Amino acid sequence: MNRRKFLRTCACLTLTGAAPALLSCHAACRRKTPPPAPAAPRAVNFEASYLALHSSGELAKRGEALWDMMASCQLCPRRCGAKRIDGEEGFCRASSALEISGFSPHFGEEAPLVGKGGSGTIFLTNCTLRCVFCINWETSQGGDGVVRSIDDMADMMLSLQDTGCHNVNMVTPTHYSPHIVLALDRAASKGLTVPVVWNTCGWERLEILQILDGIVDIYLPDYKYSDGKMAAKYSSTAEDYPDVARAALLEMNRQAGVAKPPLSGLMQRGLMIRHLVMPNDVSGSGEVMRWIGANLPKDTYVNIMSQYRPMYKAHDHEEIARPITRDEYHVVVQTARKAGLTNLEIQGYPLS
Ligand code: SF4
């Protein structure tokens, strides 16, 4: 079964209770790791942020506030004004109908998110940034997904928790933030307790992040570019990406703080930044590292990713039509160290 068929099948099986078994099979097929544990151990002295807001009724109110912003959509920095509640699609191709391409325990995320039971990923269809090199383009830009209800999403969250996942990991969440917050509220009323991971491109409006304050436990943003011209060229005219992302990172750090797992090794709260090193320094990696070193705590978690491969439309652009070299990666790691950063995830050097 290919990935697309598998994910569609998962979505259909969620409510039948058959999904967890299939998910276990899929996870085992994708990576040579043990099958998920039967249930995630509940962390001692930890309560997911959203639970208090659920109890007070605030979580539902925030979900409704976000929902209202789809009347003339302002959910991402494009602020394209699509009348999503009336069925119109925005630049991101999302209407108010929630589309999900799949959900499963994921064992390829950062180790402190994975543990033994995996990170409970839910892949949202469509995207606000629409990068030409997207590795996940079938879902982000190809429309791969199935329309699901908010109750379906809440049940997916609970299914992932029951399968043994240590968190629910919302992949590309921005345009569906109203649906996610409302689903969290419903899932919390049925026993969801694991932390929420906001797995984002980093291009987030401050006003939206402030609504998410106290809801998201772990922010997992990219910091993709330090040069707006490169962001405009490869991410659909998003020239303001560096400024927007920097403001967003500061706010995420204010809310969640430095990501440091307890003795269990499982991350519960904090900011975990990802930076994908691109060929020919398209990502402006040196400046990315220097900015983090100068503006965030020195022990901010930074994953310096080496796995860039030309995907989707990247072959149409010569400067990004190859993997990175060993030297390109080495320079970025050295710069990060010179910037004083101490909590680096060094993914491994490319072979050439
Ligand atoms: S989330 Fe989508 S519809 Fe809303 S402003 Fe951004 S691109 Fe437009």
Residue 351: per-residue pLDDT? 65
Distance set, CA 19 to CA 117, 173, 191 (Å): 15, 22, 18
Cα separation of 163 and 109, whole Å?
17
pLDDT digits (tens, 9 = 90+) for 153-207: 999 999 999 999 999 999 999 999 999 999 999 999 999 999 999 999 999 999 9
Tell me, yes or no, whether 250 lies in a domain.
yes
> Residue 19 in contact with residue 159, Cβ under 8 Å?
yes
Residue for token pair 């796995």: 307
Question: What CA dihedral angle connects 35, 39, 41 and 47, to 10 degrees?
Answer: 120
Specify the CATH number for the domain of residue 138: 3.20.20.70
CB 78 near ligand 1, within 6 Å: yes
**Degrees to nearest 5, angle at CA 200 with 222 and 207:** 110
Cα separation of 338 and 128, whole Å?
33
Residue 120: per-residue pLDDT? 98
**Ligand 1 atom with the shortest distance to the CA of 76:** 6
CB 82 near ligand 1, within 6 Å: yes
Residue for token pair 């040579």: 32
Pairing of β 146-147 and β 168-171: unpaired
Helix, strand, coil % over all residues of the chain, rounded to 5 = 40, 15, 45
Tell me, yes or no, whether 141 lies in a domain.
yes
Tell me, yes or no, whether 18 lies in a domain.
no
Token pair for 142? 């190809």
Distance set, CA 166 to CA 51, 114, 118, 143, 157 (Å): 16, 7, 6, 28, 11
CA 141 to centroid of ligand 1, rounded, Å: 14
Residue for token pair 């391409």: 101
Q: Which among 128, 172, 176 is the best mutation to test ligand 1's pocket, defined by most ligand atoms within 8 Å of the CB? A: 128
Tell me, yes or no, whether 30 lies in a domain.
no
> Residue 272 in contact with residue 110, Cβ under 8 Å?
yes
Q: Helices 58-68 and 177-189, interaxial angle, to 10°?
A: 160
Residue 263: per-residue pLDDT? 85
Tell me, yes or no, whether 39 lies in a domain.
no
Residue nearest to atom 1 of ligand 1 (CA): 175
Tell me, yes or no, whether 64 lies in a domain.
yes
Tell me, yes or no, whether 23 lies in a domain.
no
Residue 347: per-residue pLDDT? 80
CB 79 near ligand 1, within 6 Å: yes
Cα separation of 91 and 87, whole Å?
13
Residue 162: per-residue pLDDT? 98
Q: How many domains does the chain have?
A: 1
Tell me, yes or no, whether 165 lies in a domain.
yes
- 5 has pLDDT over 90: no
Q: Read off the pTM.
A: 0.88
> Residue 105 in contact with residue 123, Cβ under 8 Å?
no
- 13 has pLDDT over 50: no
Q: Determine the structural domain holding residue 213 and report its residue range.
A: 3-12+45-346
